[in-house]
């Protein structure tokens, strides 16, 4: 086998006959003018227009990936790349191949991951207004949950060190791979930098589906942050429901009118759902730590200080409180000759405690199961 090159340029390709040959030629000319050894890899994603033949004729190494998808194509390209630095660039001529040496130089100067910023260099017709608005919203939301120095989190011109790429452990099959790279880089505390670039109008037909791909980005961002998706909404519902229950039981009046049992039932629903969401969030974070290898100081600290028995004891205590309160309600009902139930409010509270305690009890078991470390070997 020949010595591995310093730079691997990976270009995903799906029916890009209009531009793929020129892309390969430009990449080879730009890197050939430097003293850097390189390879150009085109990942053919089951093209039907002869793109793979044009890429090979221009001097690229063609890798075939039959599973359609932006992420699948790049993952196949990453697996084939041998360079110390891996450059990602699209096959539609929207990016200037002359920028590649700048990105490589940034990696050589200590960066682990470099992403382009198109927003200050948009040429007329290069980005639809809806795409620009969606990119700004998704980039802002991503940076709110996973802080990075990036203003344009979904730029397709990127470069990453080979050793950093292994640490990212990417899995996404579609366009959401772009978001996954940013999220994983943030979690791995990689040195991430951004370089301003220009964006040109594309050649050929766009494969981007604004709403479908936008949703896939948003879905992945939410899934990677169970605290925002589950725990925070759960705590809000739990707090609101608990406050309403206290107000009803204390016979607090609002504008001269009392809060009736239907308010208590709604509050009970909020408490039950809130407890369930918090449980979902804790399970998701625990799974990420013990099955996916993520670092989470909160979960790791809880696992060290609190065991299964603590959760079981708390759940059992809450259930017992609910059963005891329910017993009081049933006792009064019997003493009144099985007539109309006069303790509706206490009955709702008792049922809520039993449900919440049961959730805590069995969620504790589930957390313990997820916390089981896989045996090595």
Least confident of 78-92, 327-341, 345-359: 327-341
Query: Do 95 and 13 belong together in one domain?
Result: yes
Query: Do 318 and 189 belong together in one domain?
Result: no
The residue to which tokens 């599973």 are assigned: 67
CATH of the domain at 153: 3.90.550.10
Q: Which of 349, 321, 346, 351 is nearest to 333 (CA)?
A: 346
- 211 pLDDT band (50/70/90 cuts)? confident
Query: Do 207 and 159 belong together in one domain?
Result: yes
Can you give the chain as a three-state secondary structure string? CCCCCCEEEEEEECCCCCCHHHHHHHHHHHHHCCCCCEEEEEEECCCCCCHHHHHHHCCCEEEECCCCCHHHHHHHHHHHCCCCEEEECCCCCCCCHHHHHHHHHHHHCCCCEEEEECCCCECCCCCCHHHHHHHHHHHHHHHHHCCCCCCCCCCCCEEEEHHHHHHHCCCCCCCCHHHHHHHHHHHCCCCEEEEECCECCCCCCCCCCHHHHHHHHHHHHHHCCHHHHHHHHHHHHHHHHHHHHHHHHCCCEECCEECCHHHHHHHHHHHHHHHHHHHHHHHHHHHHHHCCCCCCHHHHHHHHHCCHHHHHHHHHHHHHHHHHHHHHHHHHHHHCCCCCCCCHHHHHHHHHHHHHHHHHHHHHHHHHHHCCCCCCC
| pLDDT tens figures, 287-299 | 777 666 666 666 6
Phi then psi for 259, rounded to 5 degrees? -95, 125
Question: Is 377 among the domain residues?
Answer: no
Which pLDDT score, from 0 to 100, does residue 377 have? 35
Query: Do 230 and 328 belong together in one domain?
Result: yes
Which pLDDT score, from 0 to 100, does residue 372 have? 66
Q: Which of 166, 192, 223 delimits the end of a domain?
A: 223
Query: Do 275 and 208 belong together in one domain?
Result: no
Question: Is 115 among the domain residues?
Answer: yes
Domain membership of residue 272 as a residue range: 226-370
Mean pLDDT of the chain: 88
Question: Is 375 among the domain residues?
Answer: no
For 67, 86, 158, the CA distances from 193, given in Å and listed in that order, are 31, 15, 10
Cα–Cα distance measured from residue 219 to residue 144, given in angstroms and rounded to the nearest whole number: 15
Q: Which of 157, 191, 223 delimits the end of a domain?
A: 223
Query: Do 304 and 261 belong together in one domain?
Result: yes
Least confident of 207-216, 289-298, 348-357, 361-370: 289-298
Query: Do 203 and 246 belong together in one domain?
Result: no
Question: Is 99 among the domain residues?
Answer: yes
Question: Is 190 among the domain residues?
Answer: yes
Query: Do 230 and 114 belong together in one domain?
Result: no
Between strands 113-117 and 7-13, the pairing is unpaired
| pLDDT tens figures, 7-59 | 999 999 999 999 999 999 999 999 999 989 999 999 999 999 999 999 999 99
Phi then psi for 249, rounded to 5 degrees? -65, -25
Query: Do 202 and 231 belong together in one domain?
Result: no
Cα–Cα distance measured from residue 209 to residue 27, given in angstroms and rounded to the nearest whole number: 27
For 86, 263, 278, 290, 315, the CA distances from 352, given in Å and listed in that order, are 55, 14, 16, 32, 12
pTM: 0.81
> How wide is the angle at C-alpha 17 spanned by C-alphas 12 and 21, nearest 5°?
75
Which pLDDT score, from 0 to 100, does residue 70 have? 93
Question: Is 177 among the domain residues?
Answer: yes
Cα–Cα distance measured from residue 287 to residue 261, given in angstroms and rounded to the nearest whole number: 39
| pLDDT tens figures, 299-329 | 666 666 677 788 899 999 999 999 999 888 8
Query: Do 128 and 11 belong together in one domain?
Result: yes
Q: Which of 207, 223, 239 delimits the end of a domain?
A: 223
Query: Do 153 and 75 belong together in one domain?
Result: yes
* Tokens matching residue 337: 């000759």
* Number of structural domains the chain divides into: 2
Question: Is 45 among the domain residues?
Answer: yes
Question: Is 121 among the domain residues?
Answer: yes
Q: Is 327 left (phi over 0), alpha (psi -120 to 50) or beta?
A: alpha
> How wide is the angle at C-alpha 291 spanned by C-alphas 315 and 150, nearest 5°?
105
Share of the chain above pLDDT 70, in %: 90
Query: Do 68 and 184 belong together in one domain?
Result: yes
Could you tell me which residue, 196 or 212, shows the higher pLDDT?
196
Which pLDDT score, from 0 to 100, does residue 261 have? 77
* Tokens matching residue 143: 């940076």
């Amino acid at each position: 086998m020949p010595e591995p090159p310093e730079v691997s340029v990976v270009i995903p390709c799906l029916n890009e006959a209009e531009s793929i040959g020129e892309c390969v030629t430009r990449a080879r000319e730009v890197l050939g003018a430097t003293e850097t050894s390189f390879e150009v890899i085109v990942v053919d994603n089951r093209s039907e227009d002869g793109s793979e033949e044009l890429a090979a004729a221009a001097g690229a190494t063609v890798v075939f990936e039959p599973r359609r998808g932006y992420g699948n194509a790049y993952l196949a390209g990453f697996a084939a790349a041998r360079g110390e630095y891996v450059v990602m660039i699209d096959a539609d001529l929207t990016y200037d191949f002359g920028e590649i040496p700048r990105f490589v130089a940034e990696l050589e100067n200590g960066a682990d991951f470099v992403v382009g910023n198109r927003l200050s260099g948009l040429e007329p017709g290069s980005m639809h207004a809806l795409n620009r608005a969606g990119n700004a919203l998704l980039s802002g939301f991503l940076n709110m949950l996973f802080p990075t120095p990036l203003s344009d989190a979904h730029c397709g011109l990127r470069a990453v060190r080979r050793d950093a790429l292994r640490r990212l452990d990417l899995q996404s099959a579609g366009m959401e791979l772009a978001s996954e790279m940013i999220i994983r880089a943030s979690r791995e505390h990689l040195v991430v930098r951004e370089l301003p670039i220009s964006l040109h109008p594309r050649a050929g037909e766009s494969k981007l589906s604004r709403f479908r791909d936008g949703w896939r980005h948003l879905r992945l961002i939410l899934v990677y942050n169970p605290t925002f998706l589950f725990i925070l909404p759960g705590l809000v519902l739990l707090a609101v429901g608990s406050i309403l229950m206290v107000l009803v039981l204390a016979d607090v009046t609002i504008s001269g009118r009392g809060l009736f049992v239907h308010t208590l039932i709604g509050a009970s629903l909020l408490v039950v759902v809130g407890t369930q969401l918090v449980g979902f969030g804790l399970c998701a974070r625990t799974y990420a730590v013990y099955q996916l290898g993520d670092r989470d100081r909160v979960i790791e600290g809880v696992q060290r200080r609190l065991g299964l028995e603590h959760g079981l004891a708390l759940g059992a205590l809450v259930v017992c409180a609910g059963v005891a309160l329910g017993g009081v309600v049933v006792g009064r009902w019997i003493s009144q000759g099985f007539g109309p139930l006069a303790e509706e409010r206490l009955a709702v509270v008792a049922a809520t405690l039993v449900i919440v305690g049961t959730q805590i009890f069995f969620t504790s078991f589930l957390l313990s199961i997820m916390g089981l470390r896989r045996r090595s070997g």
